[in-house]
């Protein structure tokens, strides 16, 4: 079992930056792929970024590529999402997710554990 808690969300102006954190407990996350997803009101939950267990392979949604950076610290059971050059369309609840066996890294159905979400609001 893995418990995930996100933090770091808030209100930021367009062009600004935020750093989201995801703290894991219950089990170490060394062997888990860790992903970030987001969901805006009335829209489907969408993939944002994922980092594989080794920490050496990352993937990003085209909409955030070049602006967001995902990282992890397995020793601290922490995952981060650095968000730069934020746009109003980035506004959503951001969720941290963990998956032991993830084949389709961009699919939320591949993940076993989810955090409660943290709100990110980008004003224009």
The average pLDDT across 19-30 equals 87
pLDDT, one tens digit per residue, over 95-118 is 999 998 778 889 999 999 999 999
Tell me: pLDDT of 56 over 90. no
Q: What are phi and psi of 68, to 5 degrees?
A: -105, 150
Q: pLDDT per residue over 25-43, tens digit each? A: 987 777 889 999 999 999 9
pLDDT, tens digit (0-9, with 9 covering 90-100), for 63-103: 999 999 999 998 898 999 999 999 999 999 999 999 987 78
């Amino acid at each position: 079992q893995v418990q995930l808690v996100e933090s770091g969300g808030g209100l930021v102006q367009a062009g600004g930056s935020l750093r989201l954190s995801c703290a894991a407990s219950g089990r170490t996350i060394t062997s888990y792929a860790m992903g970030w997803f987001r969901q805006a009101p009335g829209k489907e939950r969408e993939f944002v970024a994922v980092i594989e267990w080794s920490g050496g392979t990352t993937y990003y949604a085209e909409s955030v590529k070049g602006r967001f950076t995902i990282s992890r610290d397995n020793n601290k059971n922490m995952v981060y999402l650095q968000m730069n050059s934020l746009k109003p369309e980035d506004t959503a609840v951001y969720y941290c997710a963990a998956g032991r066996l993830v084949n389709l890294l961009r699919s939320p159905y591949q993940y076993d554990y989810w955090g409660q979400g943290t709100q990110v609001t980008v004003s224009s």
